[in-house]
């Protein structure tokens, strides 16, 4: 904090004069130097659609901070667009940026001794990366995202990025014409913002609200609404209240807050990537979240929302229905939310959600009439995933909840895609993609291209996909990721052969390679995991990264 109650760390004392001379070089006035210095971490760039409006959000935050008596100072954070990185080498560089963002934000905040922080992220990895940094730096901090994209419209139906990816499979298999395909290309993503379904970015921005680190609407107010600008000003003012009350991230992100996040995760049907990011954020807070806890919470938490890709509702619909707080209020009717904990509003969860009613029971099901009595995410275990794997159960059609089929095995995403588009995957198959985990990829690529191609070609009700990589929040179907241990770490997924029968049983939480124990033991004795030639950051990352079951944190 500052050296006195009203000024920033550098405002007094002869020993701080050299620093003040550098602030003079920046054009700071004495009045600005006497106020708390608030770092605004901006992920604005011109390559990510979810970030192209963040300059406007940052300007509004600056105004809010200044109105409330602080001195706003902006510094940058990087961000990758997973959609643009998808399906090529670039996706290896997506997950790895989470830790780069956390590290660089920590470095900037600590080096310049900010009195408080406002984080302005939006897309998949910079939300959890900044939350990790907030825990490390632990000065009063608030989040305000860039907001979600509006849904597109094709032939009168709402669409999103997942619609576009699935259109590739539909076009390749001759189910739609070139004109229809181009219409999707031109209309699927109509505005700036994080892609319009309950994908990873929107999942994490909603869960930021639940954790208590973002104001109401942080996850759901569309990017193009002026309400988002007002929210940013309010966040700038709110961080000054947090500063005056000395409420810090570790006061807010408690174990109870993470249990709330897991419960709402299950109710919303969030991206399976939340099972990587929540444990990693909790780790920075000194809290352990494992996959078993996720199943315990899922068992008692109903799934209330089917947003794209699980259904035909979008973030704008959730916002109009009452947003995240309305979902929390529904869950609170069954005492599934911890309401006595403090948040970035300076109030408790109970105070925040009071009066936040469900305005559309078609979008947010009443807790008494859920889509299912169990949550949207399931963790499976078995001989093929001894340490667990993850599936978005709410996006799996009923006939694929239990499935047995022959394995078609691929050692990279590209080979699997060639087989799918080449018509080599048929009804009943279980596609296995390995050496795509945190170490083996490295970087744990998302498999949106293969899952979308399977859906677009009309195989979504007949084919399962299993990988030690991960899936975009836009993936749907029997898509089972995060298989641990991964192939590169000596996992049994590395010894699966074409034709081996595999059973997926989501209601029983199991994933089984139907090969007798003696044969598995024989194969494992001969198994030598493949090694890739690596250089640069990926080489370092592969040596340091932990299992996906532990959140793929760096050790």
**Is the CB of residue 441 less than 8 Å from the CB of residue 473?**
no
Q: Phi/psi class of residue 216: alpha, beta or left (left: φ > 0; alpha: ψ in -120 to 50)?
A: beta
Burial of 241 (0-12, 13-18, 19+ CB in 10 A): middle
Handedness of CA 101, 126, 59, 143 (dihedral sign): negative
**Separation of alpha carbons 335 and 322, rounded Å:** 19
> Where do the H-state alpha helices sit in 146-248?
161-172, 178-187, 200-211, 226-245
Cα R_g (the chain), whole angstroms: 23
Catalytic residue among 43, 160, 472, 479: 472
Q: Which two tokens stand for residue 302?
A: 């109903």
Using alpha carbons, list the distances in angstroms from residue 150 to 49, 159, 334, 364, 473: 12, 9, 32, 18, 17
**Separation of alpha carbons 197 and 306, rounded Å:** 10
Strands 501-505 and 510-513: antiparallel
Q: Is 226 a catalytic residue?
A: no
**Separation of alpha carbons 470 and 108, rounded Å:** 30
Per-residue pLDDT of the chain (555 residues; tens, 9 = 90+): 444 445 678 888 899 999 999 999 999 999 999 999 999 999 999 999 999 999 999 999 999 999 999 999 999 999 999 999 998 999 999 999 999 999 999 999 999 999 999 999 999 999 999 999 999 999 999 999 999 999 999 999 999 998 998 898 899 889 999 999 999 999 999 999 999 999 999 999 999 999 999 999 999 999 999 999 999 999 999 999 999 999 999 999 999 999 999 999 999 999 999 999 999 999 999 999 988 898 999 999 999 999 999 999 999 999 999 999 999 999 999 999 999 999 999 999 999 999 999 999 999 999 999 999 999 999 999 999 999 999 999 999 999 999 999 999 999 999 999 999 999 999 999 999 999 999 999 999 999 899 989 998 999 999 999 999 999 887 888 999 999 999 999 999 999 999 999 999 999 999 999 999 999 999 999 999 999 999 999 999 999 999 999 999 998
Q: What is the pLDDT of residue 2?
A: 43
Q: Which two tokens stand for residue 358?
A: 């469900």
Query: Which residue is listed with tokens 């897309």?
Result: 123
Write phi, then psi, for 7 (nearest 5 degrees).
-120, 175
**Three-class secondary structure assignment of 35-87:** CCEEEEEECCCCCCHHHCCHHHHHHHHHHHHHHCCCEEEEEECCCCCHHHHCC
Q: What is the pLDDT of residue 7?
A: 60
């Amino acid at each position: 904090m500052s050296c006195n109650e009203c000024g920033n760390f550098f405002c007094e004392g002869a020993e701080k004069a050299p620093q003040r001379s550098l602030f003079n070089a920046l054009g700071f006035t004495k009045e600005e130097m006497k106020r708390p210095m608030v770092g605004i971490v901006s992920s604005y760039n011109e390559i990510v659609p979810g970030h192209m409006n963040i300059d406007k959000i940052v300007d509004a935050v600056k105004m809010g901070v200044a109105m409330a008596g602080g001195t706003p100072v902006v510094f940058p954070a990087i961000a990758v667009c997973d959609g643009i990185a998808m399906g090529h080498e670039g996706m290896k560089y997506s997950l790895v940026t989470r830790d780069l963002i956390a590290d660089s934000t920590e470095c900037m905040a600590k080096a310049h001794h900010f009195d408080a922080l406002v984080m302005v992220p939006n897309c998949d990895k910079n939300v959890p990366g900044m939350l990790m940094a907030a825990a490390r730096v632990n000065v009063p901090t608030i989040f305000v995202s860039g907001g979600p994209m509006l849904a597109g419209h094709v032939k009168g139906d709402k669409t999103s990025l997942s619609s576009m990816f699935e259109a590739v499979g539909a076009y390749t298999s001759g189910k739609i014409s070139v004109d229809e395909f181009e219409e999707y290309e031109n209309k699927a993503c109509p505005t700036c913002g994080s892609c319009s379904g309950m994908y990873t970015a929107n999942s994490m921005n909603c869960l930021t609200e639940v954790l208590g680190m973002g104001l109401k609407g942080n996850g759901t107010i569309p990017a193009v609404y002026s309400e988002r600008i007002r929210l940013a000003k309010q966040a700038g003012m709110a961080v000054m209240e947090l500063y005056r009350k000395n409420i810090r991230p570790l006061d807010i992100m408690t174990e109870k807050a993470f249990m709330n996040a897991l419960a709402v995760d299950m109710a919303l049907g969030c991206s399976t990537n939340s099972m990587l990011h929540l444990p990693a954020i909790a780790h920075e807070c000194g809290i352990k979240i494992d996959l078993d806890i996720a199943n315990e919470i899922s068992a008692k938490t109903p799934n209330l929302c089917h947003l794209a890709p699980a259904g035909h509702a979008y973030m704008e619909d959730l916002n109009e229905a009452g947003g995240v707080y309305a979902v929390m209020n529904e869950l609170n009717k069954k005492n599934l939310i911890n309401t006595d904990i403090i948040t970035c509003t300076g109030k408790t969860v109970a105070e925040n959600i009071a009066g936040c009613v469900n305005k559309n029971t078609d979008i947010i099901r009443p807790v008494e009439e859920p889509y299912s009595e169990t949550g949207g995410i399931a963790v499976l275990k078995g001989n093929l995933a001894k340490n667990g794997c993850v599936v978005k159960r709410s996006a799996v059609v009923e006939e694929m909840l239990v499935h047995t089929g022959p394995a078609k095995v691929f050692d990279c995403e590209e080979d699997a895609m060639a087989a799918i588009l080449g018509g080599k995957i048929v009804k009943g198959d279980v596609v296995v993609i390995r050496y795509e985990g945190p170490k083996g990829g490295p970087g744990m690529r998302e498999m949106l291209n293969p899952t979308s191609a399977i859906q677009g070609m009309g195989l979504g009700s007949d084919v399962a996909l299993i990988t030690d990589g991960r899936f975009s929040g836009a993936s749907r179907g029997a898509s089972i990721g995060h298989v641990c241990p991964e192939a590169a770490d000596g996992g049994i997924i590395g010894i699966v052969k074409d034709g081996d029968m595999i059973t997926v049983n989501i209601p029983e939480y199991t994933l089984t390679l139907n090969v007798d124990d003696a044969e598995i033991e024989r194969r494992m004795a001969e198994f030598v995991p493949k090694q890739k030639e690596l250089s640069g950051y990926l080489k370092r990352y592969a040596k340091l990264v932990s299992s996906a079951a532990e959140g793929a944190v760096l050790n």
